[in-house]
Structure 1
Amino acid sequence: MAVDRRALLVDAAAELFTERPYDEVTTTEIARRAGVAYGLIAHHFANKRGLYLATIRAAAERLRAVHETAPAGGTPAARLHDALTRHIAHLEANAEGYLALMRSAQGSDAEVRAIIDDYRWQGALRVLRAAGVTEPVRPALRTAMRGWVGFLNEIVIDHLRHRELSRDALADLAAATLAAALRTAHALDPGIGIAPELIERL
């Protein structure tokens, strides 16, 4: 079976960027940890920055893949709870890497922020599509969802640092906040495309 040397480099780089700041990691040690020739970094990614951005995209893709399977449950609330607990469980299992990723997102790197912002918005769209909403998303709903996704991210970061709430409790908090955000968006604009009856079932 052929070895995917590109994937080996991405995995090795992700480990090292989790362990130390970007500027302290060298391409030589990335290649050494991956067990591949140094020149493959230039071949696949052009340079260290290209490899770094590839690790960001790979992390976002792994989290997106968690939600590829349809949520379990017979009610909207149960399906939302299942999706949220799977999301939280994945981040618990990859806590160090996720916290390092979020530190990068809070910096001045516009490309990293753009990758993460796109991933977050795609996650918000998955929630909206499950509720029957299609694009374009109306302003009140778009603003509410962007705010909720930011809230979800912050409570997960707090959870990963402190581990004081259970996974179920965190999912309940996120679900209740989503319902409140949608309720307010509907009050501002009844045409957002989500029935009040559905919001109350979350």
Structure 2
Amino acid sequence: MSASGARPSRPSRRRLSPDDRRNELLALGAQVFGERPYDDVRIDEIAERAGVSRALMYHYFPDKRAFFAEVVRAEGERLFAATSTQAQPGQSLFERLRAGVLAYVEYHEAHPHGSWAAHVGMGRTDPILLGIDDVDNTRQMQRIMDAIATVTPDLDSKVERDLRVIVYGWLAFTLEMCRQRILDPSLQAGGVADSCAHALLDAVMRVPGIPQSLAVAVAPEAR
């Protein structure tokens, strides 16, 4: 209650399209989940802060778990778009990888609440969240395989399979490196990007049967 005894006014509700309203709720959710543990957040609180009714909140999201999953999914979409770096003329494979990882790190710097909520807050054991991870990892894997294809268009099926496995493993490594930087921002972004890019090329270099053109592109002297 205020000093005058009046109840504090609720935020005025603005007219938004359904998509804009949903995106607004997701952005607010990323902020709140990034500030506090999952169990401390009430979905009614999100509705109140957004100036919408509880019924409308549940119209968009059936429960808190589904809402959090959509927050994480939206974060993944934004991150994928932010890391869509364009290859520059004469850029080496190492430089392309480094630029992508650096964009990843810079995205986390620009969106600390969403990054914390998606990668630190609740952990990664919920089946729904693991499904979202699978989609994100497959897209990122294919992006890297496409970059490799610019160096070596025609890969033997076994070599291609081995490279996909390597890239999937590397994505887990890179996510953890970036997660550690979310936890400790004093880690140098350039150092993280260098380590991740070198790690992938070192692993690719050891895949049996890679074509000579790819071996040359990932060799230490090409970095």
Could you give the per-residue CA deviations for residues 141-200 of structure 1, whole angstroms, max 9, x where no partner exists? 122111111111111122222234422222111111011111122x2x437x97212222
For 1:101 and 1:141, the matched residues in 2 are separated by 27
List 4+ stretches of structure 1 deviating above 4 A: 133-137
2:69 corresponds to which residue? 53
1:179 corresponds to which residue? 201
Cα distance change of structure 1 residues 194 and 9 upon mapping to structure 2, 3 Å threshold: farther
Aligned residues: 199
Q: Identity of paired residues, percent?
A: 28
Single out whichever of 145-154 and 165-174 deviates more from structure 2. Answer: 165-174
1:196 corresponds to which residue? 215
For 1:146 and 1:91, the matched residues in 2 are separated by 21
1:75 corresponds to which residue? 91
1:154 corresponds to which residue? 176
Residues 53 and 112 in structure 1, CA contact (< 8 A), matched pair in contact too: yes
Residues 98 and 194 in structure 2, CA contact (< 8 A), matched pair in contact too: yes
Residues 71 and 83 in structure 1, CA contact (< 8 A), matched pair in contact too: no
For 1:51 and 1:100, the matched residues in 2 are separated by 12
Q: How does 1:128-143 map to 2 (within 5 A)?
A: 128-132=145-149, 138-143=160-165
Shift of 1:119: 0.7
For 1:156 and 1:62, the matched residues in 2 are separated by 16
Shift of 1:33: 1.3
* Aligned pair partner of 2:109 in 74, 82, 92: 92
* Aligned pair partner of 1:66 in 82, 98, 113: 82
For 2:98 and 2:119, the matched residues in 1 are separated by 23
2:143 corresponds to which residue? 126
Shift of 1:128: 1.2
For 1:82 and 1:126, the matched residues in 2 are separated by 13
Per chain length, whose mean CA-contact separation is higher, i.e. which structure has more relative contact order (CA < 8 Å, sep 6+)?
Answer: 2
User: With structure 2 as the length reference, what TM-score do the two structures score?
Assistant: 0.77
Shift of 1:2: 5.6
Unaligned runs of 5+ in 2: 1-13
Q: Between Structure 1 and Structure 2, whose CA radius of gyration is higher?
A: 2
Cα distance change of structure 1 residues 83 and 9 upon mapping to structure 2, 3 Å threshold: same
